[in-house]
């Protein structure tokens, strides 16, 4: 697998905000989202045992596999190996490819409203949906997907403080009018941790 980085931090977004986690960022993505804030293209080839050995450095029970797009590389054997060392495995995905069935938690962050048909979602059941809200595109309800732990709306980080403030206000206003959504903030950026 091509691994961009492995590090520990707090989960900054969604249902598990504030939870300590080991992040495995896999390289590469099948989409080119205009607002992507992740440098995921570079990476080092690692086999599954090398990944496990790295994760063992951290006494943290939650492992979050992210990217790029982790479904392009993630295997059920890596998930099983992480389970064997006592880890719970969460995946953050755009939902365009199937995931191993033994993943414990799925965060779907759909991008179809930004990049069109190439971001067609194939997943039918997830733990949470986290939609990036830019103040311009109406969030889809995704009624055809079973969601066990909530719909989250996350203000898009444009890199411009004035524009970000406007988008946050629009996000709050949207949630007040559509209370099936919950607010997700990128708290890791707010408190300046990786």
Active site residues: 23, 29, 33, 36-38, 92, 188
β-sheet bridge partners, residue 131: 153
Q: What is the largest CA-CA distance in the chain?
A: 48
Cα–Cα distance for residue pair 73/149, rounded to 1 Å: 26
CA angle 146, 149, 151 (to 5 degrees): 75
Q: For residue 152, give both structure tokens.
A: 């989250």
Strand order in the sheet with 2-10: 44-45, 2-10, 20-26, 62-66, 88-93, 105-108, 128-133, 151-155, 181-183
Q: Comparing C-alpha atoms, which of 148, 158, 150, 155 is closest to residue 174?
A: 155
The alpha helices in 37-111, defined as continuous H runs, are: 48-55, 76-84
β-sheet bridge partners, residue 125: 146
């Amino acid at each position: 697998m091509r691994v961009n980085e492995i590090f520990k931090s707090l989960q900054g977004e969604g249902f598990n905000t504030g939870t300590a986690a080991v992040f495995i960022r896999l390289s590469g993505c099948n989409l080119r989202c205009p607002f992507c804030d992740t440098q995921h293209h570079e990476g080092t080839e690692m086999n599954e045992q090398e990944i496990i050995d790295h994760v063992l450095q951290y006494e943290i029970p939650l492992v979050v596999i992210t990217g790029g797009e982790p479904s392009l590389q993630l295997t059920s054997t890596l998930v099983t190996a992480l389970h064997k060392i006592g880890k719970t495995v969460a995946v953050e995905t755009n939902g365009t490819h199937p995931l191993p069935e033994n993943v414990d938690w799925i965060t779907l962050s759909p991008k179809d409203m930004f990049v069109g048909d190439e971001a067609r979602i194939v997943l039918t059941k997830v733990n949470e949906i986290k939609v990036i809200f830019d103040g311009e595109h109406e969030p889809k309800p995704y009624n055809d997907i079973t969601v066990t732990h909530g719909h989250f709306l996350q203000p898009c980080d444009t890199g411009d403080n004035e524009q970000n403030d406007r988008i946050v206000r629009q996000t709050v206003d949207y949630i007040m009018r559509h209370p099936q959504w919950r607010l997700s903030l990128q708290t890791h950026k707010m408190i300046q941790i990786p």
